Amino acid sequence: MVDFYPHRRILTIWRMVAAAFALAAAFAVALLFGQHPLLFRLTTGLWVVVFLGFFVIYCPIKYNRLKYSVGNGQVLLRGGVLYRRVKAIPLSNIQFTAAFASPLHRLFGLCTVALAAAGGSLFLTGLTREDAARLEKLLCVPTSPQD
């Protein structure tokens, strides 16, 4: 079994996205409740607590539990924050693989590998380009023709 882990830089990307949402929430709170000091303080306190919880607790737990494995004829994605989950796709069902990256991912040298299969798909995010190439090479094993 070959294991792949997301690179630590994906944690920075998740935190940057969380910060962008927090800024949007701050502007919304200021626009909606700027004239009402008590409501403004309450809603600001609420979104600050939610943001800090996501930033300090959720993202690191998600990162530490995320793991991709290839072996025993299948691709496994293990992860989950509130509950553990395992997603599996048999290698024989994989119809398409593609590596892609958003501008933010490219800035940090990371990409996502998408696996499309009969019955579902997996997105393996936070991989370096080298890991993505190695993973795609593992997945592109030619199959023998059937009689």
Name the class of domain 66-137. Answer: mainly beta
pLDDT at residue 135 above 50? yes
Cα 1 from Cα 11, distance rounded (Å) = 25
Cα 130-1-120 angle, rounded to 5 deg: 80
> What is the pTM for the complete model shown?
0.83
Q: Tally helices (H) and strands (E) across the chain.
A: 5, 7
Q: State the pLDDT at residue 147.
A: 42
CA 44 to chain centre: 27
Where do the domains of the chain lie?
1-62, 66-137
Q: pLDDT for 49-73, tens place per residue? A: 988 988 899 999 999 999 999 989 8
Q: pLDDT for 99-123, tens place per residue? A: 999 999 999 999 999 999 988 899 9
Q: pLDDT for 76-100, tens place per residue? A: 999 999 999 999 999 889 998 999 9
Classify residue 80 as left (phi > 0), alpha (psi -120 to 50) or beta.
Answer: left
- Tell me if 69 sits within 8 A of 87, measured CB to CB: no
